Amino acid sequence: MAEEFLATEIDTAVRVVHLASSLCVKVQDKLRLPSSTNGHVKSKDDDSPVTVADWGVQAIVSWVLAQVFGGQNLSIVAEEDTESLSKAESLGLLGAVSSAVNEALSEASTYGLPKPDKPLGTTDILEAIGRCSSVGGPKGRHWVLDPVDGTLGFVRGDQYAVALALIENGKVLLGVLGCPNYPVKKECLSNGCNNQSGAAGSVSKGCVMYAKRGSGQAWMQPLIPGGYPESATLLKVSSVDDPVLATVCEPVERANSNHLFTAGLTNSMGVR
């Protein structure tokens, strides 16, 4: 594969994750309003939650990828379908998804992405979401998307990620993570730097991290509301080799981690 060809894919993927992360920030802010929670969150058959952001991100990523790479042979593997969203009782929810998608896409050009000539209708949005029904496989090229990885954390106002990857013939070519609530600066992990400013260089919360196969490097950009950053920071493995000074992370959900074991392990290591 020509290096410049993959450059188009990584550039588009990073930009669309920035745009999708912007949508997530706005939806999560609305979820903090007590009156809006029930209308923006729905339970799936397995009792896991799905939100306006899950469907909205999937619609945006699908629409943009189709515009850039053509939709005819585009293979996207993603989590959400349109079945529950298409039901009569979900009309209000579909309207909320449509509003979030069109608000985000109206800013697409500021992220260097194609922008629709007019707002997308609900049929267009359902079509974009439904386009992500590929089953993937060991052959061919497949985009893989988890629109909101960690929906419980998203609903709670905590950590989550927009996760997008490109796989070709079973090999991952690139990966992008949008983490709107993750601190750009390491010190903010402990002291809670949670302000977010539109001025470049002053953003302390929210980032997009990405890497591509063969580069040997990973990069991070800050999330700038309504804009795309001009630079990226090279990510490096921590130089800390003393366990006492290490930072240990684990899932908040008890079902995903043995908290007692982790507490005992960190205590025995002397982690502060």
Q: Give me the residues of the chain with pLDDT under 70, please.
A: 1-5, 34-40, 43-48, 186-203
The structure tokens 């930072």 sit at 247
The structure tokens 């745009």 sit at 19
Distance CA 118, CA 120 (A): 6
Per DSSP, 48 falls in state -
**79 marked as binding residue:** yes
Compute φ and ψ for 205, nearest 5 degrees.
Answer: -130, 130
Instruction: Note the pTM of the prediction, 2 decimals.
Output: 0.87
What does the angle CA 169 – CA 172 – CA 173 come to, to the nearest 5 degrees? 95
**124 marked as binding residue:** no
Question: Is 166:173 a contact under the CB 8 Å cutoff?
Answer: yes
Query: What domains can be seen in the chain, in order of their start residue?
Result: 3-236 (3.30.540.10), 237-272 (no CATH)
pLDDT at 43: 67
**117 marked as binding residue:** no
Distance CA 88, CA 102 (A): 21
Distance CA 37, CA 222 (A): 28
**What confidence tens digit (pLDDT) does each residue in 97-117 have?**
999 999 999 999 999 999 999
**What confidence tens digit (pLDDT) does each residue in 29-49 have?**
988 776 555 556 776 655 567
Q: Which residues are catalytic?
A: 54, 151
Q: State the DSSP string of 225-243.
A: TTB--S--EE--------G
**What confidence tens digit (pLDDT) does each residue in 74-83 have?**
999 999 999 9
